[in-house]
Copies of this chain bind each other. A is one copy, B any other.
Amino acid sequence: MMNGTNPMDVFLSKCRQRNLKITPQRTAVFSALADAEDHPSADAVYQKVKKEFPNISFDTVNRTLIVFSEIGLAEVVEGQGDPRRFDPRMENHHHFYCVTCGKITDFFSEELDKIEIPTQIEQDFTVISKRMVLKGYCTDCRK
């Protein structure tokens, strides 16, 4: 049998691997996150999903997102003490963070990906991800 590689198939197979039930709520949260381009907070995802499931609770959305981050369907990205923000994009990439509006913009750079981590760090720690985080003003916020 063939296993597609579209996001929904990945979701289904990851859930089955982990014996996580495929509930309508979980599926809806996944779709909402997968579609998001804006590194949404749990509350932002909740607002989206609520349109389809008016009765869903914030707790379910939040818990589900954390589960996703645990099983490799999303990643929790760096914030500034703001609510957690979730990133559905699992490819290696980098972030620009606007200090005015808080928007996080993805960008890609093979150059940056190639960067060598200093030997000392590699020795002392087990590195599982690396990312360049830029801060500054986005197009909208610089006048």
Interface residues of A (CB under 8 A from B): 76, 78-85, 96-99, 105, 107, 109, 111-112, 115-118, 120-121, 124-139, 142
* Known contacts A85-B81, A133-B78; A128 and B99 CB within 8 A of each other: yes
A115 to nearest B CB, angstroms? 6
A80, closest chain B residue (CB): B76
Q: By the criterion CB–CB under 8 Å, are B80 and A78 in contact?
A: yes
Q: By the criterion CB–CB under 8 Å, are A130 and B134 in contact?
A: yes
Find A137's partner among B109, B126, B131 (CB 8 Å cutoff). Answer: B126
A117 to nearest B CB, angstroms? 7
* Known contacts A76-B80, A79-B78, A84-B81; A118 and B127 CB within 8 A of each other: no
